[in-house]
């Protein structure tokens, strides 16, 4: 059925004339089957807006005849009276009660096209919550369609409150960040509106949305946070009572910035579309993230160390770092030769993975975690080749929520110099005559016996036999004379000057019958062999280059060997 303008309905027409008019309209309606009818559209209502905000009511007309540009009039229902608000063709159209708001610009109408306008009401008051009527004067050759449409506007109180909880000012990398925001509104409004919460962060280049919740109960994540959300590194914490939380399970250095919580109030329009009607933001606070690399310190709790052979090397690596609970520490002991001791490139002595598994360790090296942040290295029975510069390297790993690890920091302690020295071995030497010649050509055998040996460790003993020309009654001091022959720590035989041929012919023999007993045997003693004999025992120790170093030497007292020549 066609709708007739209210000015026609209320123009005071007589009953007879009204019946004639109605008949005429009805006849035109029946005979206009192929003629399109004018349609006036307004914003689909009812609309809900907030006190103090702006309401925008649209109105358009289509399927009309006449000029392309159409005129519009707005009226508002107050009580049971329709008050004129604004018209496109009558500047004095407004009711006197609305004139001040029209003059101040609180109420304006803007043309958005030849056949559309919007009515904007700024600074909404509770009294603005009513029904609005948009009408279009006819430019059609015949009356057809609808010439007016109504929309209901509800104005609710501005009761939206946003109160954030202040987060910690500084958070270590890998630690959790929890940002809570309390958003509430008057209970009476909850039937009209819904809330959404958005967390954003500013880092100087403008705010970036991290995550939003609502108004339809869904979660929207910022483009730079989708992967973390999928891996549960970013999640929503709904605690109820209007408390909304954002949780970053492991913060990264880039997560620092000024965080803001924004609450938006929404009205669901006809057709299901969401219309934002109010927004309120509150700064949560600035968060600084301490990079793990900045807080990681590594030290070896010892000064330079001097040890003797066979001692135990005991070093402790101390690790200090913020929020160690979320980290995996990979600890490696490195050793490099002291200055002048070969390649300076550190070598891996032992390594503990971030899972606590010790690798690359063979006896006598021990490596263990003593307590949180404390790792001990033990090397038992050190030798001189264990001398060098020892350092502790720590790599800090952080595990993301998705399970993958990333290296956050690495630091190496200052080196500690370890010097392993030979203990001064202690022993005594005694020379005994085993076989004494009676005549020239008889064999001679001397025995050099070592007693009271201590501090030799991995070292070995060698011997040198000495001869000094003498006559009976001469007093010869220990260590005097020339070398007859010698055995070094590895058992190598070396003949002294003038004795090479006899050694080569087997007429002069050096032997070791026990580790601490050496013998010199002359198979055919000559008259020139008469004199004073002594032995010198030398301690040999392993060298870093794999050889042997000559150490302490102890001489026996001389022993005279004489007989009566034929």
Whether 435 and 371 map to the same domain: the answer is no
Is residue 188 located within the same domain as residue 143? no
Shared domain check, 184 and 130: no
180 pLDDT band (50/70/90 cuts)?
Answer: very high
Q: Is residue 248 domain-shared with residue 316, that is, in the same domain?
A: no
Domain boundary, last residue among 261, 290, 319 = 290
Query: Does residue 484 belong to any structural domain of this protein?
Result: yes
pLDDT of residue 189: 73
Same domain? For 18 and 80 the reply is yes
End of a domain among 397, 421, 445? 421
What single-letter DSSP state applies at residue 414?
P
**Same domain for 397 and 455?**
no
Pairing mode, strands 416-421 and 305-308: parallel
Predicted local distance difference test score (pLDDT) of residue 544: 56
CATH assignment of the domain containing 435: 2.60.40.10
Q: Are residues 183 and 301 in the same domain?
A: no
Contact in structure between 467 and 484 (CB atoms under 8 Å): yes
Question: Do both 306 and 371 map to the same domain?
Answer: yes
pLDDT bin (cut points 50, 70, 90) of residue 244 is very high
Q: Which pLDDT belongs to residue 340? A: 54
Helix, strand, coil percentages (3-state) for the chain, rounded to 5, are: 10, 50, 40
Contacts of 388 (CB under 8 A, 6+ apart): 335, 336, 337, 338, 341, 417, 418
What SS3 class is residue 350?
strand
- Per-residue confidence band for 362, with pLDDT thresholds at 50, 70 and 90: confident
Identify the pLDDT of residue 1.
Answer: 36
Q: Residue 94 domain-assigned?
A: yes
Closest CA to 332 of 320, 311, 314, 346: 346
Residue 466 within any structural domain of the chain: yes
Place of tokens 């057709």: 271
Q: What total of structural domains would you count in the chain? A: 4
Predicted pLDDT of residue 545: 63
Higher pLDDT, 26 or 148: 148
Single out the residue in 239, 258, 290 at which a domain terminates: 290
74 within some domain: yes
Does a structural domain hold residue 1? no
Residue 180 belongs to domain spanning: 161-290
Task: Write down the pLDDT at residue 424.
Answer: 77
Q: Is 446 within 8 Å of 535 (Cβ atoms)?
A: yes
Q: How far is CA 208 from the centre of its chain?
A: 21
- Residues 36 and 142 occupy one common structural domain: yes
Q: Is residue 89 part of a domain?
A: yes
In a domain, 499, yes or no: yes
- Quick: pLDDT tens for 104-122: 999 999 999 999 999 999 9
Contacts of 113 (CB under 8 A, 6+ apart): 60
Peptide bond into 46 cis (omega under 30): yes
- 402 within 8 A of 368, measured Cβ to Cβ: no
**Residue 342 confidence (pLDDT):** 52
* pLDDT surpassing 60 at residue 223: yes
Q: Are strands 81-87 and 73-78 parallel, antiparallel or unpaired?
A: antiparallel
Tokens standing for residue 101: 């708001």
Q: Both 531 and 485 in a single domain?
A: yes
- Same-domain pairing of 447 and 415: no
In a domain, 566, yes or no: no
pTM for this structure? 0.64
Residue 546 reports pLDDT greater than 80: no
Tens of pLDDT, residues 333-351: 999 987 655 556 889 999 9
CA separation, residue 271 to residues 46, 148, 218 (Å): 11, 21, 19
Residues 316 and 269 in one domain: no
């Amino acid at each position: 059925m066609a709708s007739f303008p209210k000015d026609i309905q209320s123009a005071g027409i007589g009953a007879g004339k009204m019946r004639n008019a109605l008949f005429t309209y009805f006849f035109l309606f029946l005979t206009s089957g192929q003629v399109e009818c004018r349609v006036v559209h307004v914003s689909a209502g009812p609309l809900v807006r907030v006190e103090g905000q702006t309401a925008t009511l649209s109105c358009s007309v289509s399927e009309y005849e006449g000029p392309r540009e159409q005129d519009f009039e707005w009226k508002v229902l107050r009580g049971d009276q329709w008050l004129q608000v604004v018209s496109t063709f009558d500047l004095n159209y407004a009711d006197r009660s609305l004139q001040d708001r029209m003059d101040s610009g609180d109420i304006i109408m803007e043309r958005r096209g030849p056949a559309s306008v919007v009515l904007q009401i700024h600074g909404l008051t509770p009294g603005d919550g009513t029904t609005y009527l948009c009408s279009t004067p006819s430019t059609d050759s015949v009356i057809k369609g609808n010439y007016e449409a109504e929309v209901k506007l509800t104005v609710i109180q501005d009761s939206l409150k946003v109160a954030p909880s202040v987060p910690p000012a500084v958070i270590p990398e890998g630690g959790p960040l929890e940002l809570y925001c309390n958003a509430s509104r008057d209970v009476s409004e909850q039937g009209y509106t819904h809330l959404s919460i958005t967390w954003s962060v500013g880092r100087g280049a403008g705010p970036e949305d991290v995550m939003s919740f609502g108004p339809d109960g869904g979660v929207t994540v910022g483009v730079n946070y989708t992967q973390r959300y999928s891996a549960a590194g970013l999640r929503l914490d709904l605690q109820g009572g209007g408390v909304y939380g954002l949780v970053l399970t492991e913060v990264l250095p880039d997560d620092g910035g000024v965080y803001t919580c924004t609450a938006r109030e929404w009205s669901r329009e006809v057709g299901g579309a969401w219309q934002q009607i109010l927004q309120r933001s509150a700064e949560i606070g600035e968060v600084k993230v301490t990079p793990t690399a900045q807080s990681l310190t590594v030290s070896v709790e010892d000064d330079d160390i001097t040890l003797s052979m066979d001692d135990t090397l005991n070093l402790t690596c101390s690790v200090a770092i913020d929020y160690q609970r979320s980290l995996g520490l990979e600890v490696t002991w490195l050793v490099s030769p002291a200055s002048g001791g070969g390649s300076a490139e550190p070598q891996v002595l032992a390594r503990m993975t971030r899972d606590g598994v010790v690798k690359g360790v063979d006896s006598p090296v021990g490596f263990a975690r003593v307590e949180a942040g404390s790792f001990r290295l033990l090397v038992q029975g050190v030798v001189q080749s264990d001398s060098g510069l020892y350092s502790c390297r720590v790599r800090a790993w952080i595990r993301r929520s998705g399970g993958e690890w990333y290296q956050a920091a690495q630091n190496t302690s200052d080196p500690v110099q370890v010097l392993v020295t030979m203990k001064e071995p202690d022993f005594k030497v005694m020379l005994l005559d085993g076989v004494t010649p009676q005549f020239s050509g008889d064999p001679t055998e001397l025995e050099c016996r070592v007693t009271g040996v201590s501090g030799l460790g991995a070292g070995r003993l060698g011997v040198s036999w000495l001869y000094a020309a003498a006559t009976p009654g001469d007093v010869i001091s220990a260590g005097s004379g020339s070398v007859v022959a010698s055995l070094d720590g590895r058992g190598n035989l070396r003949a002294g000057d003038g004795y090479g041929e006899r050694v080569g012919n087997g007429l002069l023999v050096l032997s070791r019958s026990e580790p601490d007993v050496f013998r010199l045997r002359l198979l055919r003693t000559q008259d020139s062999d008469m004199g004073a004999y002594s032995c010198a025992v030398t301690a040999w120790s392993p060298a870093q280059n794999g050889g042997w170093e000559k150490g302490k030497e102890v001489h026996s007292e001389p022993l005279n060997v004489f007989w009566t020549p034929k």
